[in-house]
Structure 1
Amino acid sequence: MAADPLKILVYSDNARTREKVRSALGKRVHPDLPELSYLDVATAPVVVTTIDEGGIDLAILDGEATPTGGMGLAKQLKDEVATCPPILVLTGRPDDAWLASWSRAEAAVPHPIDPIALGEAVAGLLRAAVD
């Protein structure tokens, strides 16, 4: 029997960014992990409500989203949600990794999205989450 898909929340105000994330990760990020399912979210209030309700295995937040950036949103989620899933932040540039660390995100990948770097980061976070 196949494992239930892992649910990935992808937040960005830009539909193209959300599409790039889904395209980079595909249906399965690694053969050892279950398939992925995606929930696209364009607004911060929906992210907060959805994470608070539970059932999300990983949140990918766009640090360049407006009006609420993913780093501030990551910090808010980590501060306010007791059972917050792992968070990966998409940063504007590699030098912004320190901001992602401040936000308490478990990982950061810079724009433009590199499918290999994103896949490796997501696989690492999901392995830790399902173990």
Structure 2
Amino acid sequence: MTRTMTGGCQCGRIRYRAQIENDEAYLCHCRMCQKATGGFAAAFVQLATAGVVWEHEPEWYASSPVARRPFCSHCGTPLGFDFIQSSGNMDLTLGSFDEPGYFRPVAHSGCESLHESWLDTKDLPRHYSATTESVASRWKAAGLEVP
């Protein structure tokens, strides 16, 4: 069943509506995605390009001879991935969705650059922003709640 979901960048300048066919997402571990997001992998939701409506068109970076990536030039949020010769599908970054918890990971891609030690982190200590003094005190000093 198709579901309309929304998302956008951190500063709110770039917003989108997307027609989602399922709850599937994947991690891409290729070096291009690691560099583009600054993370050990990029978490993506693949969907039909025609199912994405940008309320404000993002900027596009030609990240290679075969692909381009939408982003916000104001806050730097990476918003996705698209082949220049479109396959009819594109990817949006999982974290840019307003409800990223809707999705579940179903596959790994770009595994030649996969960092195995970053996949199973369930035994690491967990720290929450609202109870981490160095974070919470700064938000409080700014007169705001921890997001």
TM-score interval (norm. to shorter): under 0.3
Higher strand share: 2
**Normalization by structure 1: what TM-score?**
0.25
**Normalization by structure 2: what TM-score?**
0.23
* Structure showing greater Rg: 2
